[in-house]
């Protein structure tokens, strides 16, 4: 699994950073990706990546501020021109349906695929048998959500050497053993799954938060996550300004990561007032609170290794 940051600026784009959008590439054999927010220019950023719109399955919108949604109409429209573009689900807060349907109606846009728009509330919003997604409302100037993506545990690996010793050739029984089922051979001998399959691997947890002032739901969504994506709109000493606009400083993001016990924090959504050198200084300050912190750049790819 891998996160690709397509836009890391807050409010408006800069020469170096587009506005918010993050892609989550899913593991094989799925070979698809999900998108979190789509600020203006997101489809242009996608063109500079290895991601293709016909591989996009789900879009999750944190809130309806323009730097998070103005790229949606164009992206959804362009997807019709990609061969193999199947049904797509769009999850977002109340109002996302009116926004999309209004733009499409006024512009005469028609899609060549099925688009399902789901207006969400807090709680579980998706379970596809491989991943679950939970949403909770954050503390911002308008309704805004964060998302907790939970991968189901992965089956253990077959001990091929032991199976060969037992005389069991590859075939359908391998699948049953891998799923934890004991099997009985024609001889009457029972092979127990626990004897030939390693323990399952815990699934990964990724938390992607929308714009937010520090709040309890941020910590709850990020609890023990493998990776947390948190906005870092403002720098140290700007707490009052952050509170006024419903945002966080990089130190507050680091404090949330520490409180939640996450493995890694990625800061994004930086104010356009900060240049690259300043963001380096902000990163140093955040690492004083939570050492396992990185600052996202546009097109940065962050791998999410399997849980041990």
The CATH number linked to 118 is: 3.60.15.10
Q: Which pLDDT score is estimated for 273?
A: 94
68 annotated as a binding-site residue: yes
- Report the pLDDT value the prediction gives residue 269, as an integer from 0 to 100: 97
Handedness of CA 72, 116, 222, 217 (dihedral sign): positive
- Tell which of 181, 196, 211 closes a domain: 196
Residue numbers in the chain where pLDDT is lower than 70: 308
Q: Are residues 148 and 174 in the same domain?
A: no
Contact, 23 vs 47, CB < 8 A? Answer: no
The answer to whether 168 touches 157, Cβ cutoff 8 Å, is no
Q: Tens digit of pLDDT for each residue in 193-242?
A: 888 888 888 899 999 999 999 999 999 999 999 999 999 999 999 999 99
Burial code of 193-226, b = ≥16 C-beta within 10 A, e = fewer? beebbeeeeebbbbbbbbbbbbbebbbebbeebb
Answer yes or no: do 61 and 185 share one domain: no
The parent domain of residue 39 ranges over: 2-154+201-303
Q: Are residues 188 and 213 in the same domain?
A: no
> Is 67 tagged catalytic?
yes
Which one of 196, 224, 248 terminates a domain?
196
**Given 144, 177, 196, which residue is the final one in a domain?**
196
Q: Does one domain contain both 180 and 285? A: no
Q: Are residues 99 and 187 in the same domain?
A: no
Say if residue 44 carries a ligand binding annotation.
Answer: no
Quick one: 187 and 83 in the same domain? no
Q: Is 275 annotated as a binding residue?
A: no
Asked whether residue 308 is assigned to any structural domain, the reply reads no
Q: pLDDT value at position 15?
A: 93
| Residue of 67, 83, 139, 224 with catalytic role | 67
298 appears as a binding residue in the annotation:
no
In a shared domain, residues 61 and 177: no
Let me know whether 171 and 244 are in one domain. Answer: no
Let me know if 169 is exposed, middle or buried by CB neighbors in 10 A (0-12, 13-18, 19+): exposed
Q: Are 68 and 19 in contact (CB under 8 A)?
A: yes
């Amino acid at each position: 699994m891998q996160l690709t940051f397509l836009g890391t600026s807050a409010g408006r784009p800069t020469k170096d950073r587009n506005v918010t959008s993050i892609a989550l590439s899913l593991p094989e054999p799925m070979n698809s990706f999900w998108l979190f927010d789509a600020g203006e220019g997101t489809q242009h950023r996608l063109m500079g990546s290895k991601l293709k719109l016909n591989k996009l399955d789900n879009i999750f919108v944190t809130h309806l501020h323009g730097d998070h949604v103005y790229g949606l109409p164009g992206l959804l429209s362009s997807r019709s021109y990609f061969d193999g573009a199947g049904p797509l689900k769009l999850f977002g807060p109340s109002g996302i349906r009116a926004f999309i349907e209004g733009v499409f109606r006024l512009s005469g846009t028609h899609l060549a695929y099925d688009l399902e728009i789901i207006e969400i509330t807090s709680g579980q919003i998706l379970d596809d048998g491989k991943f679950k997604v939970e949403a909770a409302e954050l503390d911002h100037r308008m309704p805004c959500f964060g998302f907790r993506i939970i991968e189901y545990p992965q089956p253990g690996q077959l001990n091929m050497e032991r199976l060969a010793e037992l005389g069991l050739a590859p075939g359908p029984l391998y699948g049953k053993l891998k799923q934890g089922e004991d099997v009985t051979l024609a001889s009457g001998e029972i092979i127990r799954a626990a004897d030939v399959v390693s323990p399952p691997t815990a699934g990964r947890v990724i938390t992607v938060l929308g714009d937010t002032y520090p709040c309890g739901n941020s910590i709850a969504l990020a609890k023990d996550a493998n990776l947390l994506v948190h906005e870092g709109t403002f720098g140290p000493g700007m707490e009052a300004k952050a509170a006024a606009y419903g945002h966080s400083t990089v130190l507050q993001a680091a404090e949330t990561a520490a409180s939640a016990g996450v493995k890694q924090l990625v800061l994004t959504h930086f104010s356009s007032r900060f240049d690259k050198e300043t963001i380096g200084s902000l990163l140093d300050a955040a690492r004083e609170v939570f050492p396992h912190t990185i600052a996202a750049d546009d097109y940065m790819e962050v791998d999410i290794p399997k849980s041990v």
